[in-house]
Structure 1
Amino acid sequence: MDSSSLRERQKERRRARIYGVAIELFKQGGFQTTTATDIAKASNVSRGTFFNYYPYKEAVLLDYGSEVMERLRDMAEARLAEGTLPLTVLYEVWDQLAEENTRERDLFPPLAYEVMNPNPERARTAYQALPLSKVIELILRPLHQSGQIRTDLSLQRISNLIADTYLLVALRWSAYGTDRPLREEMRLALNLLLEGAVKR
């Protein structure tokens, strides 16, 4: 094995270790109170090394969000391949995401805020790391192609709107809480989006 691929493997292992330690610290002590110095110390690396891998603390959360999105995409693809109806798959993915957010309630707000970061570069990085709209697009494509959902709007726009709604409803729930579990809040929001608010 040449030295460059060995170095790459070591870098990947170090990044994975920093990531694992950081997520653990966020869960134990809270995202806000955990500093980059805390993460570096617990990972046995220097503060500078931490910043080589993650330019800012929130970037760790983007890796976490990416993992979640990958799992959801895999689940959606598998369910569609089994012949499950697209809307059923959408609700399943929606429920799964709500469960994940409920479990990791403290990690979600800073992750969502990153998507709305006033720094456009950071917002774009977050948006690319959390492609929920792409997962929704994948699920809804068969319905769009067969004309079962609106075709006067692009599939991308419809998917973005559904993903944005998820983000805002989940963010409000995480920050303020309601009497309803997040899963119920999310289902209400999705029903409203799919059925419309105005009686015809």
Structure 2
Amino acid sequence: MSKESLRESRKRELKEEIYLQALRLFKERGFENVTVDEITSACGVAKGTFYNYFPRKEAILLHLGQGQIVLLRESIRRHAGVKEIKARLQLIFKDLLTRIDTDPELMKATILEILRSSLLVAEEIQLISEFEGLLIPLFAEAIAAGQVSPRFSAPQLASFLVGVYYYTLFSWLANPARGEPAALLAAHLEIIWDGIAAEGSKNRG
């Protein structure tokens, strides 16, 4: 790994550390009751370092969604060689859901804080739109390859799958005992694919 790559990796690790420590404080005391000074003190970093990564305290809450978009882009590139789109999507969503599978209560606290703010909800909606946009080319490829029925458009399918992703996420947060979120989504994707797969593709499966 080059010095530049190592430096970037350390930056990402520090940002994630600040993010997780801040979430723990929010969970314990509530978002409004935690100051930036308290976050930096808990992390052992200077206030200027905090603002290098997060321009305002609210930006911490958006880091979950922003981080998922970054991870989604990386995962799409990583699994580009998988020819079957269903299998590729399963790998991609496993990557996404593994990131948030460590502490369901912490994730729940984050999402609840976002939902309390109309401004944050508006910004989160923009991230959801970006999420859908990144999935559209995958479904366009699936349609062109005869893996998915052309009765559905790529934007429709991307929007539907994002909805299933959030349903899986929220239902898992409500009851983590249901199982790992990646496994839950994989089961949902099997059901979806049975309905959208092209006839020839079904016969080959």
Q: TM-score, normalised by structure 1?
A: 0.68
Per the TM alignment, residue 40 of structure 1 is displaced from its structure 2 partner at its CA by: 4.8
Alpha-carbon distance change, 33 to 76 in structure 1, aligned in 2, over 3 angstroms: same
Aligned to 1:12: none
Q: Deviations over 1:50-85 (max 9, x none)?
A: 9x82252xx3132243223222222212322x3532
Give, as a single letter, the amino acid of the residue that structure 1 aligns with 2:72: L
The answer (yes or no) to whether the contact 1:87–1:140 under 8 Å persists in 2 is no
Per the TM alignment, residue 115 of structure 1 is displaced from its structure 2 partner at its CA by: 7.2
The answer (yes or no) to whether the contact 1:137–1:155 under 8 Å persists in 2 is yes
Task: Give the Cα separation in 2 of the matches to 1:117 and 1:137.
Answer: 30
Q: Deviations over 1:141-194 (max 9, x none)?
A: 211234532434331121111111111111111122234222221111111222
Structure 1: runs of 5 or more not aligned: 1-15
The answer (yes or no) to whether the contact 2:79–2:92 under 8 Å persists in 1 is no
Task: Give the Cα separation in 1 of the matches to 2:20 and 2:143.
Answer: 38
Structure 2: runs of 5 or more not aligned: 1-12, 197-205
Greater shift, 87-96 or 101-110, is seen at 101-110
Alpha-carbon distance change, 115 to 159 in structure 1, aligned in 2, over 3 angstroms: farther
Per the TM alignment, residue 104 of structure 1 is displaced from its structure 2 partner at its CA by: 4.0
1:195 aligns with 2:190: no
Q: Secondary structure at the match of 1:33?
A: helix
Aligned to 2:170: 171
Q: Secondary structure at the match of 2:100?
A: helix
Per the TM alignment, residue 89 of structure 1 is displaced from its structure 2 partner at its CA by: 0.9
Greater shift, 145-154 or 165-174, is seen at 145-154
The answer (yes or no) to whether the contact 2:61–2:114 under 8 Å persists in 1 is no
Using the aligned pairs only, state the percent identity: 13
Give, as a single letter, the amino acid of the residue that structure 2 aligns with 1:149: V
Alpha-carbon distance change, 53 to 118 in structure 1, aligned in 2, over 3 angstroms: closer
Task: Give the Cα separation in 2 of the matches to 1:151 and 1:111.
Answer: 38
Q: How many residues align?
A: 176
Aligned to 1:23: 20
Aligned to 1:66: 66
Task: Give the Cα separation in 1 of the matches to 2:19 and 2:117.
Answer: 24
Q: Secondary structure at the match of 1:178?
A: helix
Task: Give the Cα separation in 2 of the matches to 1:116 and 1:149.
Answer: 35
Task: Give the Cα separation in 2 of the matches to 1:70 and 1:173.
Answer: 22
Aligned to 1:33: 28
Q: Please report the RMSD computed on the Cα atoms of aligned residues, expressed in angstroms.
A: 3.6
Q: TM-score, normalised by structure 2?
A: 0.67
The answer (yes or no) to whether the contact 1:62–1:129 under 8 Å persists in 2 is no
Per the TM alignment, residue 113 of structure 1 is displaced from its structure 2 partner at its CA by: 5.0
